[in-house]
Amino acid sequence: MKIVHACEKTIPIECDLRNARVDFSEMTATVVAVATDQFRDGRRVVGYAFNSFGRYACGGPLRERFIPRLLAAPPSDLLDPDTQRLDPPRVATALLRREKAGAHAERSMAVGTLELALWDAAAKLEGRPLYQVLASRYGVAGAGRPRAIACYAGGGFYKPTDDRARLRDEIQGYLDAGYRDVKIKAGGLPLAQDLARIESALALLHDGSRLALDASCAFDRDSALAYARAVAPYGLRWLEEPCDPADFDTYRAVSEQYPGMLAGGENLYSKEEAENFLRYGPAPHRVVLQPDPPLAYGIGEFHRMVRLAGRHGVPAAHIMPHGGNLMSLHVAAGLGLGGAESYPGLFGAFGGFGREVAIADGHASLPAAPGIGFEEQPELYRIFAALPANP
C-alpha cells in the first residue's frame, strides 16, 4: 500500500460567535485529503480530516514539511510490520523524526490532522466505522459494539444583541433535538450579567448538574477564584478552563476552593503537557479531561493521554474529547470514554455529526459508514470532494 497524493486547503468558518477571549469572525480551518493506491467498490480509498476549530488553519507546516514527508515515506513507515495494515500513529512518529521536542502547537495540529485522515483511510480499507477499528486496535472491551454514547450540546456563545433571549431559544432547540445536557460560554460579561445567563439556562434545564460553563481561559488567579465562588452554589456539571491552560498554580488554587469538577485539556497538545497539567494543576479526581485529537498529534497521542490520565487517577468516564465533530465522536466511542460534545447548528459545515447520527435522551447513536463518515455530512463532504485528492 502506498500514499499517492495528499493535499490541504484553508477554509473560512464564517461565523459571528465569540467566547470570553476571542471572536470567530476571522477563524479558519484546514481540510486535508490523503489518497492511497487502494480501491474499494471501484473507488479510490481517500482519507479526510480537518483540524477542528478554535485554532486557525495549519497549512504552512503541512505544505512545507509534513505532506512532503508523508509522500516520501517508505512502506516501513506506513504499515504495521505484523498485520501490514496502515498504521496512522506509526506514520505520525515518522513525520516527527526530524523535529525537535517541545513547541507542540506549531506542528501538533498539522500532524494530528494528517493522522486523522490516515485513520479515516485505514478504517475504510477495513470496511468498518472508525470507532470499531479503534476498539480493536487498542483492545477496549465492548467499545466496538454499535450503541449510543452520552453526548452534550456545546454552545451558548455570546451574541452581538439580545443575548439572553437568543440563549434561551438556543437551549430550547437543543432540548427539542434530544440533548439533555448543555455547555455555555462564561466569563465574557460582567459577573451579574453572566449569572443572569446561567439562571436563564437553568430555568430550562432545571438542574445545575445538566449545565457546564466554559470560561475559555478568561481569568487571572483572583478573578478565577472570585468567579468560582460565585457559581459554586449552582452545583454545575463542571467549570471549564477558568485560566490559561499552562497556569497550573491557578488551576490548583481553584480546584482547592471550588467544590465541583474542573475541566480542561483542549489546549494541551501532547502527553507531556497533559502530564504536567495532571501533576501540578487541578486535583485529578475532580478533572474532566478534554484533549482534541486532531489538535494534539492525533489519536495515537490521544490514547497515550488516556493511559497517563488513568495513572493519575482520572477515570475514562471523566475523559471527553473536545471538538464536537465526527472525529471526536469516534474517539470517545472507540476508546470507551465518558462521552462527547456536539456543536449542532454552529460553525457551518463543520458542526454536527451528519445524517447517520441520531440524538435521543442525551445520547448519540454511532455511524455505520466505513471510516469517519464525512460522506454522510453532505455540506462538509462537498468541501472535501472539491480537493484534488486523485493523482
Q: Report the binding-site residues for Mg(2+).
A: 214, 240, 266
Closest to 269 (Cα-Cα) out of 288, 252, 292, 250: 292
d(Cα 273, Cα 285) in Å, to the nearest integer?
18
Q: Quick one: 15 exposed, middle or buried, by C-beta within 10 A (0-12, 13-18, 19+)? A: middle
Query: What are the φ and ψ backbone dihedral angles of 182, each rounded to 5 degrees?
Result: -140, 145
How crowded is the C-beta side of 25, counted as CA atoms within 13 Å? 7
* C-alpha cell of residue 376: 454522510
Query: What residues form the annotated binding site?
Result: 214, 240, 266
* Beta carbons of 53 and 347 less than 8 angstroms apart: yes
| 367, 344, 286, 304: CA torsion to nearest 10 | 40
* Beta carbons of 27 and 15 less than 8 angstroms apart: yes
* Beta carbons of 210 and 237 less than 8 angstroms apart: yes
d(Cα 24, Cα 16) in Å, to the nearest integer?
6
Consecutive H or E run containing 211: strand 211-214
Active-site residues, by number, are 185, 322
String of DSSP letters for 303-349:
HHHHHHHHHTT--GGGB--SSSSHHHHHHHHHTT-S-EEE-TT-SGG
